[in-house]
Structures are given as C-alpha cells and as structure tokens.
Amino acid sequence: MLRQIALLALGLLPCSLAQVSDDFESGLDAAAWPTYALDCSQGGTVTLDSSTAHSGKNSVRVDGAGGYCGHIFFGTTKVPSGDVYVRVWLKASKALTDSHVSFITMPDSAQGSKKHLRIGGQSKILMYNRESDDATLPDLSPQGIAASTALPTGSWQCFEYHLGTDGTIETWLNDEAIDGLTAKAGVANSNAAQWQRSSVKPKITGVYFGWESYGGDTNTFWYDDVAVSSTRVGCSGGSASP
C-alpha cells in the first residue's frame, strides 16, 4: 500500500519534486524496480525476502558474486531533476574489506556515457568512487580513512546521502554525518583533495542498489524502506528486526 500511495503522489508532483518510496510489503515490482547489470551478469541475484525486514515482513535481498560480472542491482530512474536525497535501510552480511566494492551505483551523465557515481567501500571504510577518473571520497590516506567509518554487519542501518546541483555531497549513517563522505562546493576539504580536483558535478539518471566487486569479494545485502526525494527524508522511527 505504501508503494501505491508514493507512486500516486509522484504523479501529482512536478518532475523537480519527484519522489519514490517503497517498503516492499506489496512485493518487488519488476517494472518499478528493474534489475541493472551493465555489460554482463554472472551469478548475482535479486529476490524478495520475507525472512528479514526493517519494517513489515519483506525486504529485497541481493546476493552479489565475485568479480565485475558478478554484479547485480535493482533500482529506479525516477530521480529529481535538482537536488537528490536518498534514504535506504540496509543490512550487510559481511564486513567491507580492503578491496574496492560498490553497493549503490548511479549512472552519471556529467561523467559521460556508461560512467557511474558509486558508493561502496575500500580499505574497510565507506567511500564514494567517481568512475571516470577513479577518484575517491575520502582520499584513501590514513587521515581520509579515519574520517570515514566502517559499515556494521548483521543489523539494519539507516544510510542517507544528498547530491547537490552545485556538486555538494553529504552522507549520514544512522542520522550521524560522516565527515569523510562530505564535500561542499567552495569549501576546502583536506580529505577530498582527489575528489575536488575535478569540476564534475554529479547529474545522476538513476539510483540502483546491489553489489559490484572489482576483485573476488562476495556479499549479501538486504534493502528496505527506500526513499528517493528532492528533500531529506531522514531515518524513520520504526524498530529494526535482526
């Protein structure tokens, strides 16, 4: 029911205020949430799972295989034309390692064809990666690594981020801002020297949740209570289930 209400509201709003939200209690609608695996797909799966959820009984389970072609995502192209805010409750089965992986990928027209803004991990911490020049936010220096945080495993986490039209990036984990995953236009950031060398301002055309590994790492992620909006949604007050 929540998904139908959200999509009805979407139809009444101008594109600049577009919003999508889903708790997957009505199932996983393949038309609303198509799978995404650019170039190849070998071994990754996306399924509706009723064994664990942040709210209600359902979540979306992504089993990601190792290697680039083991990638699989599900998501939406219904993103606001201006500032973009994304909120998702997620649960990871394994900790992030030193290897580079992504659990959110976004086609980014500002970078060019088939290039993505990616959120994932490396050096055991959360980070952004810009595919066109392989820049990371934060810098993967000792100082930059310390400014980010690990992603807890085995429990539901509220992950939020904001992409501004001026190039601003803000990120929160369980309502706490992550300094290392923050870059604001016109503001010097000692943890973002690599990121801020480019003038690229993200212009995403979709948001996809799943798994992509650039080495041999595999993982299982669950996603629930997804919202894409032109304003910050925030973490809901619902209780988390293990």
pLDDT tens for residues 40-54?
Answer: 999 999 999 999 999
Under 8 Å between Cβ of 24 and 58: yes
CA angle, corner 19, sides to 16 and 22, nearest 5?
Answer: 170
Cβ count within 10 A of residue 112: 10
* pLDDT tens per residue, range 104-163: 999 999 999 999 999 999 999 999 999 999 999 999 999 999 999 999 999 999 999 999
Residue 86 CA to residue 79 CA, distance in Å, equals 9
Mean pLDDT of the chain: 91
What's the pTM value of the predicted model, to 2 decimals?
0.91
Under 8 Å between Cβ of 60 and 208: no
For residue 2, pLDDT beyond 50: no
* pLDDT tens per residue, range 26-36: 999 999 999 99
Q: What average pLDDT does range 164-189 have in this prediction? A: 95
Residue 74 CA to residue 63 CA, distance in Å, equals 12
